[in-house]
Chains A and B, each alone.
Chain A
Amino acid sequence: MSTEATPAAADVEMYDADNPAPVIEAPRKRTKKTPKSTRTNFEMYGWLFMRLSGIVLVVLVLGHLLIQLVLDGGVSKIGFAFVAGRWASPFWQAWDLIMLWLAMLHGANGLRTVINDYAERANTRFWLKMLLYTATVFTVLLGSLVIFTFDPNIS
């Protein structure tokens, strides 16, 4: 009555009761030692930051895209003069600065959770996060430097 869908694979190694095949364990299994209480609120603040910065970014980014791509001639108007004109106003400087910081930190924190979830080995996780943090710090600092030291009369 029963039919085998797949015939038992002929293993090169033979397993029996005394010599069972190794079971496939979860890569990062929870054990008695696992809960190392971190005693900080870092993850909570991270979670809150994602929600709050997300709300602000919706306004900032959509406004940015609207100004850059839709209003007043669209993308073709963007040039050195356009940027110089906007950054003459402290309002647009602040807008771009806040957008830069929030977007970078929001994205970096999101990628951090992705790395935490998906990287299996502790070493891989560590180095991927170091790469991420380096890239984030570099971009944020470079962007801030440009916004603050922008010289419209550069030759």
Chain B
Amino acid sequence: MSTAIEDKVEAASKASPYITVTFRVRRFNPEVSAEATWQDFQVEIDPKERVLDGLHKIKWDLDGSLTFRRSCAHGICGSDAMRINGRNRLACKTLIKDINPEKPITIEPIKGLTVLKDLVVDMEPFFQAYRDVMPFLITKGNEPTRERLQSAEDRERFDDTTKCILCAACTSSCPVFWNDGQYFGPAAIVNAHRFIFDSRDEAGEQRLEILNDKDGVWRCRTTFNCTDACPRGIEVTKAIQEVKRALITRRF
């Protein structure tokens, strides 16, 4: 019996975990062509590795001109949101085995923002919307000498929206944002929500007024694309609806 187990272990160690995966990457280089094209790369990769590892293999071993953003590579910095197999995800949190490596894996830049090169987009409109909701603590009166204390329940109220890493996966999955870049987008509303429902903050009214704008929360069509796309599992659509509810209950 022991020999059977040994044989099994030996067989497993002999069998390579590596499989050949096709990465179909959307390439765009304004210095070469005005057209974006698909390019296929065959990569030997362990299916337990991530899409980002595959991109690294391509960039380091196959084609150094492949351009993409990544910083921490562990799902915190929010740099490597991209459209993988037609869905917005973080390349560093998507395992190869979870997205059917039998077929080519398509990788595109996120939609609705200007593509600068390959997978790099101009994030400026996204961050402009973020800045417009004033994502910082605003208080009146004298600064306390101690910390601004808050009960656990008060903290729990906006806990979900503190998780945002500003990767733009939600905003660039929103059809209203695709059609009309003037819309604040889910990410900006999530970050406004984080302060509107913070008991220590005193500018909730101002932020609500900003989001009451014609390009604010009322343009949300509750398609839930943002909730599906969020790599942090934030209930984005729920947060947007809570802002709507706050706007309505404030008036009536």
Q: A: which residues have CB within 8 A of B? A: 1-6, 8-9, 11, 13, 15-17, 20-32, 34-39, 41-44, 46-48, 113, 116-118
Residues on B with beta carbons closer than 8 Å to the beta carbon of A6: 37-39
Closest Cβ of chain B to A21, distance in Å, is 4
Q: Which 6 A-B pairs have the closest CB atoms?
A: A21-B34, A20-B30, A30-B125, A43-B218, A21-B30, A5-B40
Contact of B31 among A17, A34, A118 (CB under 8 A): A17
Stretch in contact with the other chain, from B67-75, B82-90, B190-198, B206-214: B206-214
| A2-B42, A6-B37 known; A21 vs B31 contact (CB < 8 Å) | yes
| A25-B114, A35-B132 known; A1 vs B42 contact (CB < 8 Å) | yes
B216 at the interface (CB under 8 A from A): yes
Q: How far is the CA of A17 from the CA of B31 in the complex (A)?
A: 5
Name A's interface SS.
loop
B41 at the interface (CB under 8 A from A): yes
Residues on A with beta carbons closer than 8 Å to the beta carbon of B63: 2
B212 touching A44 by the CB < 8 A rule? yes
Residues on B with beta carbons closer than 8 Å to the beta carbon of A31: 125, 128
Stretch in contact with the other chain, from B142-150, B177-185, B227-235: B177-185
Q: How far is the CA of A68 from the CA of B210 in the complex (A)?
A: 47
Contact with A along B25-43 (1 / 0, CB 8 A): 0000011111101111110
B155 at the interface (CB under 8 A from A): no
Chain B residue total in the interface (Cβ 8 A): 46
B30 touching A3 by the CB < 8 A rule? no
Closest Cβ of chain A to B86, distance in Å, is 17
Residues on B with beta carbons closer than 8 Å to the beta carbon of A5: 24, 37-40
Q: How far is the CA of A15 from the CA of B30 in the complex (A)?
A: 7
Q: B: which residues have CB within 8 A of A? A: 24, 30-35, 37-42, 58, 61-63, 112-116, 122, 125, 128-129, 132, 176, 179-183, 209-210, 212-216, 218-219, 244, 247-248, 251
A23 touching B42 by the CB < 8 A rule? no
B218 touching A9 by the CB < 8 A rule? no
A26 touching B33 by the CB < 8 A rule? no
Residues on A with beta carbons closer than 8 Å to the beta carbon of B125: 26, 29-31
B34 touching A3 by the CB < 8 A rule? no
B218 touching A47 by the CB < 8 A rule? yes
Q: How far is the CA of A34 from the CA of B127 in the complex (A)?
A: 13
Pairs A–B under 8 Å by Cβ, sample size 9: A1-B41, A1-B42, A11-B33, A15-B34, A23-B30, A28-B180, A28-B181, A39-B209, A44-B212
Residues on B with beta carbons closer than 8 Å to the beta carbon of A11: 33-35
Nearest A residue to B20, CB-CB: A1
A37 touching B33 by the CB < 8 A rule? no
Q: Which of the listed residues A29, A30, A48, A118 has the most CB atoms from chain B within 10 Å of its own CB?
A: A30
A30 touching B128 by the CB < 8 A rule? yes
Closest Cβ of chain B to A46, distance in Å, is 7
Q: How far is the CA of A28 from the CA of B180 in the complex (A)?
A: 6
Residues on B with beta carbons closer than 8 Å to the beta carbon of A117: 176, 179-180, 219
Contact of A26 among B42, B112, B132 (CB under 8 A): B112
